[in-house]
Amino acid sequence: MIYYMCKYTPLEVFAGFGRDTARLERMTANSDTADSLSHPNICGYGKGILEAAANPEVQELVLVSCCDVVKRIYDILKLSGNQSFLFLLDLPHKNAEAEVTYLEKQIERLIHAYEAYSGIPFDLEKTLAAWPGVPSGCGKCASAGDETPLKNPSEAGGTPCHNSPEKVEGEQIYISLQGAHSGTDLPELLRKSMGVSVRDDTCGGNRFLSVPAALFPELQKAEIEEEKRQIWIRSYARALLHQMPCMRMEDVSPRKTLGQNALGIVYHTMKFCDYYGFEYSSLRKSADKPILKIETDGTAQNSGQITTRLDAFAESLHLKAEEKQVDHTGYNKNYTAGLDSGSASTDVVILDPRKNIVGWSVVPTGSGAASGAEKALSEALLKAHLERNDLREIVTTGYGRDSIGMGSHAITEITCHARGAHYLDPEVRTIIDVGGQDSKVIRIDENGMVQNFTMNDKCAAGTGRFLEMMARTMELSLEDMSSMGLKWKNDIQISSMCTVFAESEVVSLIAGNTQTSDIIHGLNTSIANRVASLVKRAQGSGPYMMTGGVARNQGVTEALSMRLGEKIRVSPYAQLCGAIGAALFAMDD
pLDDT bracket for residue 324 (50, 70, 90): very low
pLDDT at 220: 77
Q: Which amino acid, 525?
A: T
Residue 55 lies in a domain: yes
Q: For residue 528, tell me if it sits in a domain.
A: yes
**9 part of a folded domain:** yes
Query: In this predicted structure, what is the pLDDT of residue 23?
Result: 86
Residue 20 scores a pLDDT above 90: yes
- 459 or 206: whose pLDDT is higher? 206
Distance between CA 450 and CA 203 in Å, rounded? 29
pLDDT: which is higher, 217 or 295: 295
Least confident of 215-219, 344-348, 410-414, 428-432: 215-219
| Boundaries of domain holding 6 | 2-128
More confident residue, 517 or 582: 582
Domain shared by 171 and 304, yes or no: yes
Domain boundary among 258, 282, 316: 316
- Sign, CA dihedral 38-44-45-47, equals positive
Same domain, 549 and 441: yes
Q: Is residue 271 assigned to a domain?
A: yes
**Region of poorest pLDDT, from 20-34, 73-87, 185-199, 260-274:** 20-34
User: Cα separation of 231 and 214, whole Å?
Assistant: 11
Q: 153: pLDDT confidence band, cut at 50, 70 and 90? A: very low
In a domain, 229, yes or no: no
pLDDT for 43: 78
Of 106, 128, 150, which residue constitutes the final position of a domain? Answer: 128
Could you give the 3-state DSSP secondary structure of residue 60? strand
Q: Which residues, in sequence order, are CB contacts of 327 under 8 Å at separation 6+?
A: none
State the pLDDT confidence band at 528, using cuts at 50, 70 and 90.
confident
* Greater pLDDT, 496 or 538: 538
CA torsion sign, 452 to 456 to 458 to 462?
negative
Q: What is the mean pLDDT of residues 545-565?
A: 89
Give CA separation, 83 vs 4, 47, 60, 61, 90, in Å: 13, 16, 6, 7, 19
Residues 187 and 312 in one domain: yes
Residues 457 and 560 in one domain: yes
Look at residue 546 and tell me whether its pLDDT is greater than 90: yes
> Does position 225 have pLDDT exceeding 50, yes or no?
yes
Which amino acid is present at 124?
L
Closest CA to 466 of 523, 407, 386, 543: 523
The pLDDT tens digits of the residues spanning 159-169 come to 333 334 333 33
* Least confident segment among 52-66, 91-105, 156-170, 415-429: 156-170
Dihedral, 276, 282, 283, 286 alpha carbons, nearest 10: -170
- Residue 427 clears pLDDT 90, i.e. is over it: yes
Lowest-pLDDT range of 93-102, 112-121, 391-400: 391-400
Annotate 422-460 with DSSP letters as a single string.
HHH-TT--EEEEE-SS-EEEEEE-TTS-EEEEEE--S--
Report pLDDT for 265. 93
Distance CA 310, CA 175 (A): 11
Q: What is the pLDDT of residues 406-421, one digit of tens each?
A: 877 889 999 999 999 9
Q: Is residue 192, in this structure, part of any structural domain at all?
A: yes
pLDDT in the model for residue 317: 87
CA–CA gap between residue 544 and residue 394 (Å, rounded): 28
List, for residues 246-280, the tens digit of each pLDDT value.
888 999 999 988 988 899 999 998 877 777 878 88
Q: Which long-range contacts (CB under 8 A, 24 or more apart) does 472-479 make?
A: 473/503, 473/506, 473/507, 473/510, 474/506, 474/510, 474/516, 474/519, 474/520, 476/516, 478/553
Residues 91 and 66: beta-carbon distance below 8 Å: yes
- The per-residue pLDDT for 50 is 86
Q: Kindly give the residue spans of alpha helices, DSSP state H, lying in 55-96.
A: 68-80
DSSP H or E stretch at residue 392: strand 391-397
- 461: Cα within 13 Å, side-chain hemisphere: 21
Q: What mean pLDDT is predicted for residues 451-479?
A: 76
Query: Does 537 lie in the same domain as 435?
Result: yes
Residues 285 and 387 in one domain: no
Read off the CATH number of the domain in which 309 is found: 3.40.50.11900
Here the CATH number for the domain that contains residue 401 is: 3.30.420.40
Please report which confidence band the pLDDT of residue 305 belongs to, taking 50, 70 and 90 as the band edges: confident
Q: What is the 3-state secondary structure (H, E, C) of 142-168?
A: HCCCCEEEECCCCCCCCCCCCCCCCCC
CA distance linking residue 216 with residue 237, whole number of Å: 15
Q: Are 170 and 311 within one domain?
A: yes
The pLDDT mean for the chain works out to 82
pLDDT tier for residue 154 given thresholds of 50, 70 and 90 = very low
| Residues 173 and 301 grouped into a single domain | yes
pLDDT confidence of 509, banded at 50, 70, 90? confident
Closest CA to 545 of 574, 583, 582: 574
In one-letter notation, the amino acid at residue 282 is S
Q: Are residues 388 and 403 in the same domain?
A: yes
Q: For residue 44, tell me if it sits in a domain.
A: yes
Q: What is the pLDDT of residue 279?
A: 87
**CATH code for the domain of 22:** 3.40.50.11890
**Whether 459 and 493 share a structural domain:** yes
Residue 233 lies in a domain: no
Q: Which amino acid is at 426?
A: P
Number of domains in the chain: 4
pLDDT bin (cut points 50, 70, 90) of residue 457 is: low
Same domain, 282 and 307: yes
Same domain for 445 and 413, yes or no, is: no
